[in-house]
Every structure is written in structure tokens, then in C-alpha cells.
Copies of this chain bind each other. A is one copy, B any other.
């Protein structure tokens, strides 16, 4: 029979407890993934019993949602501070692409959660987390729509489809980063995506050729004028 004198620490506030749980969940999920990261692990890391987690969260899924929500919130904050300072729709679009690539390549564990586990939709109850990638898509779509209105972008483009292509492309790049592990060359990829989106892949030989012949003709004319 041992009598132990423990300094009784007061219970943490509701907010502190939630923060502790979410942080432990983040650590465990990032390290092991959603499936393999168990509630027992998270509880152990947070220094509490499993049951306690269920007082604050609907379940494992809800916990993941909150982890992801906080991750995206930080990115959104950053973006909202930076975006307005950038001039030009094309440049802002380019910044958004680059920002996502940075987020992907700077946190492999989170990248795994996003590419692997965010997708687990439940047709009955769409979760908050599902709309997070979509939010970034909305930011991009806003730029494109504004660009169309101003005439910088063609009026026949579908902003939604273009955003899907950018967002989907970024996701595939993230996914292949997760599976093959090769580092992402952020600037190179940013350039490739931006260039493709803005200019497409078709060569405009016809235009170039007609311009070239025009130049030739003007040069000849100029020569004649000189000699006259």
C-alpha cells in the first residue's frame, strides 16, 4: 500500500483539452495515417483515456476532420494576407498554385492524410473536411472569373473545369509524391502548370509564321525606302 503525494493539477479548460487531443491526433495521424493511427495511441499521447475523446468528438472521423480543418485554416489565413498584394489575375493564380505545392511538399504526413484519407466520403453525411480542397478551388475560380470579366482570359473558358484541372493536377502530383517519395521541384512544377493553363499546349506556328513573313516584307520595304 503506497501513499503517494501528487500535486493535484487542476483539470485543463475545455479549450485546452480539445487542443491537446487535436494535437495528439495530428501527430499520430501524420505519423501512421488515419487507418493505422488508433484512438488508443492518440489517447496515450494526450495522456487521457479513450473515452474522454468521445466527450469532445463524434468519433475518429470527426477528429480527423478537425485536424484537417485547422491545417487548412492556417493556409487560408496565409493566403488571405498575401493574395491581395499580388497584381494581375494570372499572377494570383500562379501564387495559389505555388502555395498549394509548398503546403504539399513541406508536410508529407499531412499530404498523406489529404490525398489518402480526405476522400473517404460518406454519401449520407458530407463532412466539412470534404469541402476544404474545394475552398482553394473557389479562390482560383474567383481569379479566373474576374480575369474573364476584365478580358484577360477568354470568355469561353469554364472556370470550374479549369479549377478542377489545376486542383486535380496538384492532387495527383501530391499523390505521386506520397507513393514514390521523390521531392517536388516547386518552381518547376508551378511554371509548368501556369504555362499550360495560361497558354495551352498548342503551338501557334500559324501566327508566328504570318508574323515572320510580315517582318520580311517590312524589311524589304524599309530597304527600298532607304535606297530611294
Interface residues of A (CB under 8 A from B): 35, 90, 115-116, 119-121, 123, 126, 130, 144, 147, 151-158, 161-162, 164-173, 175-176, 178-179, 189, 192-193, 195-203, 205-206, 211, 214-215, 217-218, 221-222, 224-225
Taken together, the copies of this chain in the complex come to 2
Question: 11 A-B residue contacts at CB 8 Å?
Answer: A116-B119, A123-B179, A144-B201, A151-B203, A154-B199, A157-B192, A157-B201, A165-B165, A165-B193, A167-B168, A198-B201
Tell me, rounded to whole Å, the shortest Cβ–Cβ distance linking A153 to chain B.
5
Out of B167, B196, B215, which one reaches A157, CB within 8 Å? B196
Tell me, rounded to whole Å, the shortest Cβ–Cβ distance linking A130 to chain B.
7
A200 in contact with B197 (CB, 8 Å): yes
Tell me, rounded to whole Å, the shortest Cβ–Cβ distance linking A196 to chain B.
6
Most buried by B among A157, A197, A202, A217: A202
Out of B116, B214, B222, which one reaches A120, CB within 8 Å? B116
Out of B119, B154, B176, B221, which one reaches A201, CB within 8 Å? B154
| Contact partners of A211 in chain B: CB under 8 A | 211
* Given the contacts A196-B162, A200-B199, A203-B154, A221 and B225 also touching, CB distance less than 8 Å: yes
B199 in contact with A202 (CB, 8 Å): yes
Most buried by B among A171, A172, A224: A172
Tell me, rounded to whole Å, the shortest Cβ–Cβ distance linking A111 to chain B.
12
